[in-house]
Structure 1
């Protein structure tokens, strides 16, 4: 996979040597970090590099009213006193006071955003030297450098595969940016940066999958791309329609029966833990396009339904990230891949299907299809692999957007410990969740007069009743459902993402595995 940013870690001494060896003006950009206090402050290594240029930078900052506030920057071209620097870029990281009331203890812990801001300010195809000496030393400098690298790579991501006429500013500088990251301990930082870039690859895979149009990415093609993980040591099994019919995946197959593209289930196994140790499992909804079936959706914004497979994309990206860093855990990833189309063979409202579990489901609305895909996938995972827990990810309900907008994903769980760990991982990565209630009163809403259950509980508490439906297919297995309809696609622009697809969930679940489930 091609990187958007290439990062080399060097010592502060090496950074000074490189600057001294290139005395001509118009050389590489130099990036420094500034802290906002009573006056503009730099780290000691940055001050050493600035030397006689420091007074000029201070005057320029005063004239531009640049105080080092978080998210601001100062740009100087051909600065006096730095003959080898064609451009000096100073990025503000704010002050501890700016961090009050946030989820992090101090503002300069946000090195992920700093990396994203730096990549955005530098632009594409640059060769730059970044002096990474924040005025307040991070608790783990190597991890901070890794976060910086992750943010830079994610911000530089673009999905322009189908643009034959690019804007001038997009095509002026081709290729990846080369950043020399000057740090106190290059060896420690090199390992952290390498892991971060492997994680970034997982996020990029998820983004690419979600951004692809549905005429390119249908179930068979998605399965083919997921199978590439075999090159990293992931075991891949692809179940086609005859195999799914034999096993009894009738709820999942019912969703896809109206499409010319046959359904697939992909099972990914990463065996990085102790042989025979109980695995953990992740299940992704992969509706490659969702018209709503016979209960067809309104035409407005239906094009966004190419992203209704964001859950399966996140699971694919997660398995890539875990394999890249050789995670010491046994992990199962299951992708339920279908296309929900109206046709003479499509499932009808009023149909009753028998799921893999043997439970019967009355189809009230064919647009409540994702839960049918997950029902069979969840049961198969529970029965076949006996995991320690199952987490599913799905762009499941519009109701979660009404409830939480795009700031939080919805979290539902039958296990408080698992839910708490997911929430903590969300705080650590910035992929935030909000836990919603479940209970018998909600569960009754999916009871059916004609079958064991119906596939929608009506307008009220739509996200909750969807979760209650799914819970019927996990029994006592610890389980969490992440409704990512608001976070997985159409994501707001941020320091680390300018793309329609966010790749949401890859960083969250990688952190969850790393913090709690590796031997």
Structure 2
């Protein structure tokens, strides 16, 4: 869907939308329309349940004086709460409603109430972002559209008297929406279409935006000694890869990059420690961390971010076969340390320990953030509201949490503590892959394990299990992949850009 920001409504807008405040108070744009229609809005608001609350819409047949056939009144909610995130939800709800109504185009007349914490330009820009996020569709495998299916919108026009500023603010948000869509496409793709090789092929499209793409093949991985990664991918016909993406946007030569490592298990059966059949189809999304890193790189390139960033994505398919790795195996990792395999379904930490060590030693970054759908443990602790964050650096943890609050992708900090290391002692190797009792703080034990492979680099681990899919539609996302992490990491990096 295309979002257009302008100062004047199209001459023949089929659908016009205006805001209404609680208590049925008309915004200036709505009051102007009310006068032009001889008080039609005031009359429509006299009766009924609509009173301007933020989750309300009132759909009217367009009265005389309004071009087009439909007039939508949008509840804006309390003015003091009309911030960026509220604006995004309003835009998303409107687009979702119009798609259900099979309306391909709409125009919104935008005002900023006096008590709003942000100005009209920000309201317009974030309303446009919410509209774009909610307009996302993944229907490439549908051969026929059902009559009851929503019809995607083609165009949304935002009318404001702060056009230049709204367009400036919307440009990077539009890029973020593109990055989120890219990540969602990867996660929504079925396992027979998205595997290590095809994931790499889709990422290659970023070269057109100036992103450097490097692929480390299976033979190269073996020569490097990335045996933990190779072990996990050993049971699949789709062979492992390591994808390295680079964006060089800093004006400073040889600036140390920020590094982001994303778990890329394109499908996870659990291996020999096989998962239950119930909802195993969702394991196509076990590469949501890796997909978010790709989406982030697209966002940075599209908005020409002034920062140097490297993205590293270990890609495997965890399958059952005669070549699959086994519980009880001992694997020599890239770092040289040996690890005793306890559970082949704890594969994410296996591929991450090699990828993290590789990233820390090769790129010597300012900081490393890894992102992974790693443990059911974090879902049991935080549900589907927060993602967990573990960090060896307080400032890094707080900056990431602040970025999450800014974009509505919230993080909750969980502990790292050396007392947990006792549970990772192995009788036959340097370290165990899992604690003896996986149901006891498995998310913490996994983070404690990962921490051993990053050296002294500032590091944070985001366990995003539970945030990869929407199981019901939300204001800014339909059912399916969320693209969680793209906007969070983009907002984090926005505070570190070099504009000198």
| 1:9 equivalent in alignment to 2:5 | yes
**Structure 2: distance between partners of 1:225 and 1:63:** 53
Q: SS of the counterpart of 2:495? A: helix
Match for residue 317 of structure 1 among 295, 303, 310: 295
| 1:115 equivalent in alignment to 2:106 | no
Long gaps (5+) in structure 1 = 100-105
Q: SS of the counterpart of 2:176? A: helix
Instruction: Report the equivalent of 1:152.
Output: 131
| 1:430 equivalent in alignment to 2:408 | yes
Instruction: Report the equivalent of 1:232.
Output: 209
Whether contact under 8 Å (1:282, 1:392) holds in the other structure is yes
Instruction: Report the equivalent of 1:497.
Output: 477
Going from structure 1 to structure 2, the CA distance change for 1:260 and 1:167 (only over 3 Å counts) comes to same
Offset at residue 491 of structure 1 (A): 4.4
Match for residue 301 of structure 1 among 279, 299, 304: 279
Offset at residue 159 of structure 1 (A): 1.1
Please tell me the root mean square deviation across aligned C-alpha atoms, in Å: 1.7
**Structure 1: distance between partners of 2:38 and 2:171:** 33
Long gaps (5+) in structure 2 = none
Going from structure 1 to structure 2, the CA distance change for 1:353 and 1:478 (only over 3 Å counts) comes to same
Instruction: Report the equivalent of 1:103.
Output: none
Going from structure 1 to structure 2, the CA distance change for 1:108 and 1:416 (only over 3 Å counts) comes to closer
Match for residue 472 of structure 1 among 452, 455, 459: 452
Offset at residue 50 of structure 1 (A): 3.2
Whether contact under 8 Å (1:146, 1:195) holds in the other structure is no
Q: SS of the counterpart of 2:294? A: helix
What count of residue pairs does the alignment treat as equivalent?
A: 493
Instruction: Report the equivalent of 2:381.
Output: 403
Instruction: Report the equivalent of 1:170.
Output: 149
| 1:256 equivalent in alignment to 2:236 | no
Going from structure 1 to structure 2, the CA distance change for 1:125 and 1:86 (only over 3 Å counts) comes to closer
**Structure 1: distance between partners of 2:229 and 2:264:** 11
| 1:245 equivalent in alignment to 2:245 | no
Whether contact under 8 Å (2:34, 2:42) holds in the other structure is no
**Structure 1: distance between partners of 2:64 and 2:234:** 69
Instruction: Report the equivalent of 2:27.
Output: 43
**Structure 2: distance between partners of 1:351 and 1:223:** 29
Instruction: Report the equivalent of 2:487.
Output: 507
Going from structure 1 to structure 2, the CA distance change for 1:489 and 1:87 (only over 3 Å counts) comes to same
Going from structure 1 to structure 2, the CA distance change for 1:125 and 1:108 (only over 3 Å counts) comes to same
For normalisation by structure 1, the TM-score amounts to 0.92
Whether contact under 8 Å (1:138, 1:144) holds in the other structure is no
**Structure 1: distance between partners of 2:272 and 2:371:** 25
**Structure 2: distance between partners of 1:283 and 1:313:** 10
Offset at residue 108 of structure 1 (A): 7.3
| 1:85 equivalent in alignment to 2:68 | yes
